[in-house]
Structure 1
């Protein structure tokens, strides 16, 4: 065949479900940028007109109608360029997840997704119908007839086709059928959520496909926290014949992030611009980058004016505080101080000009001070160490810091119940009650600050504590967002050390010297989380084996016994305690504030892991362990 050179473009977009104006503006900006780069073909992400996270709204026919009307607007922007744009399509009482190809202001075809994601956080078969392979039909919309199905397209003699996200992850993927038909280019519009180290898997998927099928492969993912729980890393990949040509920086704060490359199509194509894929990045960097972008998008898309945090001086609240500081630092680095401040939609122009006039480090602290309000709420059981940790950290990052005690409120509630019961409450008889009231009394004051500031209250629960219900409902679980509920405690502790050493957050030096403690019992008890529960490393191992790897309780016990994690009796006690507390506390997990999906699994029943509120509590299974 003769040589053909195409300028290929792919753009990550930061979309929001049913934000028609915002989504369309991002699409228009991407089309204009692609045209300015003289691109022949532009690939946009999956379902980018509506947003991917519309959930059950996809079942409403009007949503697809509006999306098609928006598609006709996009069509008019596509003069002298081919653009692939994603939208849902409602046909014959079924909804299809589609990519529409517009060429020089004409819709030349619509490809429908063939495989639906139905694992982990995905529930696509609830909304979408898979399209059968090798089927092409026609449909009518607003008086016009269009083709839909497993279509092979052509651009200047180069044949191309689609794999829409999940399509590429299946053994019998569409590319297997397309290559014998002379296809030389595969386009993959995706909504592939962030998870630790997932980018490495995705990179291999794209590059290996380009090698196996001797083709060019273009991939475009969504970007940012789109709908609340899932974050998308905005990855853009262009590869050919097993070589990576373009890859962007992930998890940026832009609305549109585009990569372009001129790709040669011939029998033996010339591949001039090859980039070496770097070794897997540090998961610590990955998770804080994802967390900071997720917080920024959640804040601005919920139209909130910053964050409020009950800063206890412990590991969980310290990570929440530093995540906001890192959100500001990364945002300024990605957008510049002016655009970052403007994008928050919080500041008048005079304030934006003031931030711009400051040295970068001072501007960062000023912005953190405007975006994060912290309060230390001590009791007689609190230590000087945790107060110094909280204040030292808040001062170091520039957060607004308040300090008050809650002893009077605690005594007030205790005295009311003592009067009713006509007996004193004691630690020997009422331990849990006396612990919980301290945590609950902290909620009203911090909620007041959040309401006054019109800000998001951050809850500080982590995944390890969520698994066993080691949290006081309406106390330390109070909040509008629970940003670290998808991360285990062991990871959090080493992450804080990494952030002090690698990112320079010296204010973490205090918390990094402390043993995690709820500080709810009298100080002479020397309460620690691990004394109350078990070593966090063991807890996390049990949790992962039980619910990620899906082993039975006795299998979990035997595996840990083989690893010599502990003596048999101690291990039996820990495994029994874990499953007992897990079963008892599903109702708590049902009530936690929305959390971010950051690891390869989570325990949120509204996204990854459903479990009955009432169950047999694994009693039969645990009996088998204890009889061993």
Structure 2
């Protein structure tokens, strides 16, 4: 038996600026790790203040309070005799750094700043931090609160390797794993046996396999032990950090945390034999490269990571490898937004949720995700999760036994739905579907018609303008038709907030309900929603999910949640029901938009992920869609998409904060930083038209010459 080392990583549900709560969760993780016999614990990126502080990272208070919390952690009696890797922002020589602070027995060993900062997608680290230079090591003056506690004045800061009495380890922070020239390769060539990666990585549909594959490749190629720690939960913004912390040994997963859970603290512990690394690094070419690798400064640590227990205890064994676990996208939709919403509900102290349930698939998906949240809550109660039990008890101030709740019971307590119909526009089918779904999940449901409010607005406008607008089916213009539809949709938004404020009181409670939006990512991209209608809400659990994925989720949930009513929503034609239904006309979303939801997913991916403008998109789709469209038909589709995208882009400046899930989310406030006043892309159109002319002339010449 060789050098057996027991290591711990964790995933913590931290909350931005919740210094007390963040400290307590870190200490609890350390306690759990020590109970399991670990001698080293890794925590998530910036776990002391929380990762998602955004511009709060510009405030000096954050740096001060972070160090004060570090002092409390390392001084805690349960935080001794274990190496602790903590994440916090630090200031050095007038610059701010996203850093790791490594501590042992009330002493700071060193500070390791992040070298490669993440500055794309949802991340803006370069707005707040300075990137450290590789292999640079300087002397860091510790803040007063640490000096007074430890008696230390200065410690090393930089790109450092740590040498214990029997092992070596170092840090690689989040983005550094994703970069082409990752530090772990050079660390490996320098003989480092354990690499610690702390992360603040958010959930995105189908993303986990990419993350795991990167770590698998890193350890399979370089050998050694790779530890990954990630935040989990909603820390106050649109992102959900999805845990899935890992420990790998030479290309094999030996520990994996849950991706979605209501546990605030989850610790993973594995025992590895560091002598096993020898065989994975026996390549002579690797040896040759190691002799040419740049050297790093090393910090000596008077501490032993390995244990002699394995020599005397037959039960002490290394952790066995296994295949990593993945959720299907449908499960990710059921679980990710549900966990995010639970954090939002319990931390906001709201009385529950409210959603206008239209009978369509979008509000149906929103309601089903709320039910999924209720299922998770009841499951956590059954597992004895004391934090969840305490949070749920708030909704039952009379002292009811919450351990006996069903998902429908809890859903009835915290979730209210309402069908807001119109006598002429709303069908019996949509009204019935809404009522049946609410009953199936246990929601408190009400049904009302908004005709009186709609007619009052229409009358007021007509009398003020001395002009009576008409729907297009009654001979009205496009502008008249749109105005009358918006009277209805904006009325529903006002009514939603009114009901959300009063329903808890009417039901014998107090407080207000959080209003949920239910516009999907494709409608937001196309602008197929009314500004300040039901798309305007407090939060939107489906705002970053495509219509295609939502349909797959509903089909999955029909069986997984035993909700047969969901099939009716899948079979129904998507419609806003904002125009009168006649014998030969029923409003259809895809007809109204002039494009299908599947096409919108393609446009969205090409625009945002592939970074294509109109011309590049046309070039791409001329090839991809050659079996279904002519080049001129593709041009019309692309031109129509960019036209509607451009004229509706302003809606994204006020879009409801939505759970981020798709790479092509058009959220202007955080993710998609583009203008909202556009020209008409005339230059690109002219270039495409010139190429179309050449293509069509070439086809005509071919036909004349008998080549076609």
Counterpart position of 1:90 = 91
CA shift in 2, pair 1:557/1:217, >3 Å: same
Following superposition of structure 1 onto structure 2, how do residues 222-261 of structure 1 map, counting pairs within 5 Å? Answer: 222-261=231-270
Q: Does 1:619 align with 2:697?
A: no
- Alpha-carbon RMSD across the aligned residues, in angstroms, is 1.9
CA shift in 2, pair 1:521/1:615, >3 Å: same
Counterpart position of 1:566 = 629
| Deviation beyond 6 Å, 4+ runs, structure 1 | none
Following superposition of structure 1 onto structure 2, how do residues 62-73 of structure 1 map, counting pairs within 5 Å? Answer: 62-73=61-72
Tell me if structure 2 keeps the 8 A contact 1:312–1:386: yes
Counterpart position of 1:498 = 556
1:606 corresponds, among 658, 669, 672, to: 669
CA shift in 2, pair 1:357/1:485, >3 Å: closer
Q: CA deviation at 1:251?
A: 1.2
Following superposition of structure 1 onto structure 2, how do residues 108-187 of structure 1 map, counting pairs within 5 Å? Answer: 108-140=109-141, 141-142=143-144, 143=147, 144-187=153-196
- Unaligned residue ranges in structure 1 (runs of 5+): none
**Which deviations, in whole Å up to 9, do the C-alpha atoms of 1:214-241 show, x marking residues without a partner?**
2111111000112221111111111111
- The higher radius of gyration belongs to 2
Distance 1:449 1:479 in 2: 13
SS of aligned partner of 2:565: helix
Counterpart position of 1:343 = 391
Counterpart position of 1:323 = 369
- Unaligned residue ranges in structure 2 (runs of 5+): 148-152, 280-316, 505-511, 693-708
**Which deviations, in whole Å up to 9, do the C-alpha atoms of 1:160-217 show, x marking residues without a partner?**
0000101111122222222233211100111111111211111122222122222111
Q: Does 1:522 align with 2:580?
A: yes
Q: CA deviation at 1:156?
A: 3.8
Distance 1:210 1:577 in 2: 48
Distance 1:6 1:426 in 2: 76
Tell me if structure 2 keeps the 8 A contact 1:292–1:324: yes
2:335 corresponds, among 274, 289, 294, to: 289
Tell me if structure 1 keeps the 8 A contact 2:545–2:661: yes
Tell me if structure 2 keeps the 8 A contact 1:459–1:476: yes
Counterpart position of 2:567 = 509
Tell me if structure 1 keeps the 8 A contact 2:395–2:413: no
Q: Does 1:303 align with 2:339?
A: no
Distance 1:58 1:464 in 2: 33
Q: CA deviation at 1:302?
A: 2.2
**Which deviations, in whole Å up to 9, do the C-alpha atoms of 1:109-160 show, x marking residues without a partner?**
1111100001111111110111111111112221432221111113342010
Q: Does 1:393 align with 2:437?
A: yes
Distance 1:335 1:86 in 2: 31
1:433 corresponds, among 449, 472, 483, to: 483
Counterpart position of 1:47 = 46
CA shift in 2, pair 1:113/1:551, >3 Å: same
Q: Does 1:216 align with 2:225?
A: yes
Q: Does 1:199 align with 2:208?
A: yes
**Which deviations, in whole Å up to 9, do the C-alpha atoms of 1:343-389 show, x marking residues without a partner?**
24632465451x3235xxxx211100111100000002000111111
Distance 1:569 1:409 in 2: 46
CA shift in 2, pair 1:598/1:268, >3 Å: closer
CA shift in 2, pair 1:127/1:345, >3 Å: farther
Corresponding residue pairs, total: 622
SS of aligned partner of 2:494: helix
